[in-house]
Structure 1
Amino acid sequence: MTTQTLTPREAYQILRDIAQGIRLMRRIGEQGWLEIGSGLLTVEVDGWVFTLHNDGERLSHCDRCYDPEGAAYLYDTTHPYGTNPVEFMSQWEVQQVEKMLKAL
């Protein structure tokens, strides 16, 4: 079985909705954003699952994302700039999502 690929833009659309308060996320796992300090945190949003990288309490990148049908976006350090969903986010959007992650 071949996994369908999500584009970074498709994953970004969900992150944008989170920032705007259109969608709510919930933490998967025991540790929260502040407890991790630096590392990965997984959240669920309307069936979408995002694993986000916390770099000193800053959202650095989306490590992976799965939509409800199982299509996946996987971070690859060899990809050129502009291929990570977080890179599409405005500064305001990143700040909003970080604020929400800290509250989880």
Structure 2
Amino acid sequence: MNTPALTPREAYQILRDIAQGIRPMRRIGEQGWSEVRNGLLTVEVDGWVFTLYNDGDALGHCERCYNPEGAAYIFDAGHPYGTNPVEFMSQWERQRVEGMLQVL
């Protein structure tokens, strides 16, 4: 059985909601943003699960995302620009989410 696919735009909408303070997120796992410098951090947001790449304390990309129904977005470095949810974020949205990740 194949997992249904999420579009990058669908995943971005949740990241945008986080930046705007509409949806709270919580860390899943032991290590926080500063401990996984240049690594992956997983967070949960209203049943959505995001694994985000910390690229030296900057939000690099979304490695994967699952919605509550099980549909998934999986990062593929070979995909063209504009196919990662983080790429849709404005600079303000990225800064807000990075700031929130630092205090989780």
Query: Considering the TM-score relative to the shorter chain, is it more than 0.5?
Result: yes
Root mean square deviation of aligned Cα: 0.3
- What does residue 74 of structure 1 align with? 74
Deviation at 1:37, TM superposition (A): 1.1
TM-superposition CA deviations, 1:21-54 (whole Å, max 9, x none): 0000000000000111110000000000000000
Q: Does residue 27 of structure 2 align to residue 31 of structure 1?
A: no
SS in 1 for 2:41: strand
Give percent identity, aligned residues only.
78
Which 5+ residue runs of structure 2 have no aligned equivalent? none
- Deviating beyond 3 angstroms after TM superposition, the runs of 4 or more aligned structure 1 residues are none
CA apart distance, 1:97:
0.1
Unaligned runs of at least 5 residues, structure 1? none
Q: TM-score with structure 1 length normalisation?
A: 0.99
Length, aligned pairs only: 104
- For normalisation by structure 2, the TM-score amounts to 0.99
Cα separation, 2, equivalents of 1:37 and 1:77:
20
Residue number in structure 2 paired with 1:44: 44
